[in-house]
């Protein structure tokens, strides 16, 4: 995954965007615009699109913070991090080396979801402070943006904690199996197998939703499943080829 647009660097880590990011950014702005228009019919067209644009930009800032959490913890534990790239399905931190111990793997993996949970509750907390009441639609553009960001970040943390490698939850699972079995390769194979099972469930769920009338949303879930399947298979094969042969 190579960046096509470089934004700069933080703590020596190059921050960039992959071209697929622009497609998803446009889709997010369009769908948010539609949603804001529906929920807040009294907003002006200008307000709706500015809110949609600001929300999309802030969403990518929160994704970047999730990746930075992974990367900075990795750096703190002595791993080199080359770049963070944001793309259609989120972000990737390009950490140069594999974790050398289960504890490092655990903390690097869980740092991202912890960041997303803090951001999520932080946004909802600020919205509540500004007068938003739970289980009602936000009344102002600012609380609207904060509530959307709050829920999407909590959702992101929950999604990432699904225990299928290479999702963060799969890495946490791998770290736990690694700590228990003291066998890094075996833990990768088990976590990658679980990841493949999770991916198949995503694909089946997406296809089922598609034929139940969910349309694009269903295909999107199936696509994420296909992406996860590919990544899990690559992780499994990487171990298979890199595993030392017994002599």
Instruction: Enumerate binding residues for Zn ion (CB under 5 A).
Output: 112, 160, 168
What is the crossing angle of helices 102-129 and 141-160, to 10°? 160
What is the DSSP track for 108-132? HHHHHHHHHHHHHHHHHHHHHHTT-
| 105 versus 168: smaller Cβ distance to Zn ion | 168
* Cβ nearer to Zn ion, comparing 63 with 229: 63
Please indicate whether residue 105 is annotated as part of the active site.
no
Residues forming beta bridges with residue 83, ordered by sequence position: 14, 94
Selecting among 67, 97, 105, 137, the annotated active-site residue is: 67
Phi, psi at residue 165, to the nearest 5°? -60, 140
Helices (H), strands (E): how many in the chain?
Answer: 7, 4
User: Closest approach of Cβ 65 to Zn ion, in Å?
Assistant: 11
**CB-based contacts of 21: which residues, under 8 Å, 6+ apart?**
60, 86, 87, 88
Q: 104 vs 92, 156, 172, 198, CA distance in Å? A: 18, 22, 10, 24
Beta carbon of residue 18, minimum distance to Zn ion (angstroms, whole number): 16
Residue with the two structure tokens 């999702």: 167
Report CA torsion sign: 158, 82, 24, 203. negative
**Crossing angle between the packed helical segments 45-76 and 102-129, to the nearest 10 degrees:** 150
Identify which of residues 156 and 203 has a Cβ nearer to Zn ion in the complex. Answer: 156
Distance in Å, CB of 193 to Zn ion, minimum: 20
Q: How far is the CB of 205 from Zn ion (least distance, A)?
A: 21
- Residue 52 or 84: the one with the smaller Cβ distance to Zn ion is 84
Q: How far is the CB of 227 from Zn ion (least distance, A)?
A: 14
Nearer to Zn ion by C-beta: 32 or 73? 73
Both structure tokens of 70? 């992974």
Q: Give me the active site residues, please.
A: 67
């Amino acid at each position: 995954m190579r960046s096509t647009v470089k934004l700069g660097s933080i703590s020596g880590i190059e921050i960039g965007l992959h071209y697929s990011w622009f497609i998803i950014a446009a889709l997010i702005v369009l769908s948010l615009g539609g949603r804001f228009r529906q929920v807040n019919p009294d907003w002006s067209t200008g307000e709706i699109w500015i809110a949609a644009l600001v929300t999309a930009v802030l969403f990518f800032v929160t994704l970047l913070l999730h990746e930075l959490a992974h990367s900075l913890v990795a750096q703190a534990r002595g791993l080199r991090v080359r770049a963070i790239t944001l793309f259609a399905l989120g972000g990737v931190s390009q950490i140069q080396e594999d974790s050398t111990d289960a504890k490092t793997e655990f903390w690097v993996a869980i740092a991202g979801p912890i960041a997303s949970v803090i951001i999520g509750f932080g946004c909802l907390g600020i919205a509540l402070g500004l007068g938003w009441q739970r289980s009602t639609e936000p009344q102002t553009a600012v609380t609207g943006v904060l509530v959307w960001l709050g829920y999407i970040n909590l959702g992101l943390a929950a999604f990432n904690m699904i225990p299928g490698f290479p999702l963060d939850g799969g890495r946490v699972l791998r770290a736990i199996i690694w700590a228990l079995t003291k066998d890094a390769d075996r833990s990768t194979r088990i976590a990658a197998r679980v990841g493949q099972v999770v991916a198949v469930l995503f694909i089946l769920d997406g296809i089922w939703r598609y034929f139940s009338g969910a349309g694009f949303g269903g295909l999107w879930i199936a696509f994420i499943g296909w992406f996860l399947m590919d990544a899990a298979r690559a992780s499994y094969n990487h171990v298979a080829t890199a595993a030392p042969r017994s002599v």
